[in-house]
Amino acid sequence: MEEPPFPPQGKQVDRLGILGLILLGWALVVVLRLVDLQIFAHPQYLRLAESQQDRVETVEAPRGAILDRNGNLLAISSASQFVVVNPRRIDRKDMAAGLLASVLGLDAKKLQADLEAAAASKHHRGYLVVDPNVSEEKADALRDMKLDWLEIRQGSLRSYPNGPLAAHVIGNVGAEGHGAAGIEWKLEKVLSGTPGELQVKVDVRQRPYESEVSRAPVPGHNVQLTIDSEVQHVAEDALKAAVVENHADHGSIVAMDPKTGEVLALANYPTYDLNERLHVGEQPHGRENLAVVAPFEPGSVFKVVTLSAAMETTNLRPDTVINCGNGVMTLFTRVIHDSHPYSALSVADVLAKSSNIGAIRIGMQVGNKNLYEYIRRFGFGKRTGIELPAEAPGMVRPLKRWQPTSIGSVPMGHEISVTSLQLAQLGAIIANGGFLVHP
């Protein structure tokens, strides 16, 4: 069998030349790319490398303290680290709850319920604080697990040294550290300060190895209240005893300086401990500031407004005798009774014995227009201006909406609604000789 002939020498040289040109071309491309990377694109890639090595973290500003009028601490912040999870990234919430509970010493069932509620809520912010003050040892244990739905964050822990004392005045902060109720919410801008920035260098595993404060945080301001802790203690104890003794659902108490309007004590019962966090979906039982946000018909206590208007607009005097009709009165088709029948009482005794009929008789002499004017002058139907959230103005119907029978209701505190704070303001006006003061 014959061997195939060798290709002609000229063609072989041509092929080698083409191959050499291709290799030279590739080499030229590589060289040009290296020149581009080293000279022209170097700044861009340097910035990219630095961005992967550097990160900016927010430095939380120390939150201002809250103090009572005598300088006693009511709320204070301290540095802490907290555990945050993203419930929506957790597939097996029962297993996650068990894992976290074993490390953090929490109730697994309650934690699982919180995770499920947070994941299902359309209004939830997407993460949940499961431990607001975790120890370094426990934090390290969680970091080692490398859970993609968990973070350890640096922040501050807000604490309330007196627990439930003045809870509805002080309020509390939420999981993000911002005011959520009370003074904490109302004066958020004063208390919160301005966050700073921290430049952090990290290694390839994103572990920080060097940091520098690029912008220092500006601490929040302290806030001093008019509340007196000792008066507040006494008021809360007295309120609780009264609610329990009278088998009431709830109660409120307000102590006000009649000369200045300063609130020395404000309490509601039931109450709550400010250091106890509200769980996801939990009803805020005992957390509403009823003294400020919940109007009600005042009833007989309102008779003092009717009599005050009478002293200013009629010839009635404290010793003027009022016909009380032996405890029965008919107004149009409405029959009104007194709890105790009196044939006649002085104006002063109408108030002392809380006679409904006597108050109505006095109100009729005052007249609708004058009575309405004095109700408004006492501050009813409008907010007092206290620095607490969601204050209710109460309800005083415009005079044109009064019914013919309204004069049989308003003088004894019906067809009107007020807050406990407004009643305290009324008491201050009576005590100081008639001057309207604001809390």
For the chain, what are the domain ranges? 299-431
User: In percent, how much of the chain has pLDDT > 90?
Assistant: 57
- Is residue 349 predicted with pLDDT exceeding 70? yes
Confidence at residue 117, expressed as pLDDT on a 0 to 100 scale: 84
More confident residue, 305 or 37: 305
- Is residue 280 predicted with pLDDT exceeding 90? no
Record the tokens describing residue 423, joined without a space: 């009643």
- Specify the CATH number for 299-431; select among 3.30.2350.10, 3.40.710.10, 3.40.50.410, 3.40.50.300: 3.40.710.10
Determine the Cα–Cα distance for residues 55 and 198; give it in Å rounded to an integer. Answer: 8
Question: What's the mean pLDDT in 21-42?
Answer: 66
The residues pairing with 198 across neighbouring beta strands, listed in sequence order, are: 57, 213
pTM score: 0.79
pLDDT band of 240, cuts 50, 70, 90: very high
Confidence at residue 146, expressed as pLDDT on a 0 to 100 scale: 87
Upper half-sphere CA count for residue 187 (Cβ side, 13 Å): 21
Determine the Cα–Cα distance for residues 187 and 238; give it in Å rounded to an integer. Answer: 29
Which tens digit of pLDDT belongs to each residue from 184-218? 999 999 999 898 887 766 665 555 556 667 788 89
Strand 73-85 and strand 150-159: the pairing is antiparallel
Question: What's the mean pLDDT in 122-139?
Answer: 79
Confidence at residue 47, expressed as pLDDT on a 0 to 100 scale: 60
Which stretches of 334-400 are assigned E, i.e. beta strand?
334-337, 344-346, 395-396
Which tens digit of pLDDT belongs to each residue from 136-169? 898 888 888 888 888 888 778 899 999 999 999 9
Return the top range by mean pLDDT from 41-45, 81-85, 116-120, 320-324.
320-324
| Cβ atoms within 10 Å of 70's Cβ, excluding its own | 10
More confident residue, 139 or 383: 383
Q: Could you give the maximum distance between any two Cα atoms of the chain, in Å?
A: 150
Record the tokens describing residue 425, joined without a space: 């303001």
Lowest mean pLDDT among 111-120, 182-191, 378-387: 111-120
Which tens digit of pLDDT belongs to each residue from 50-62? 555 666 767 788 8
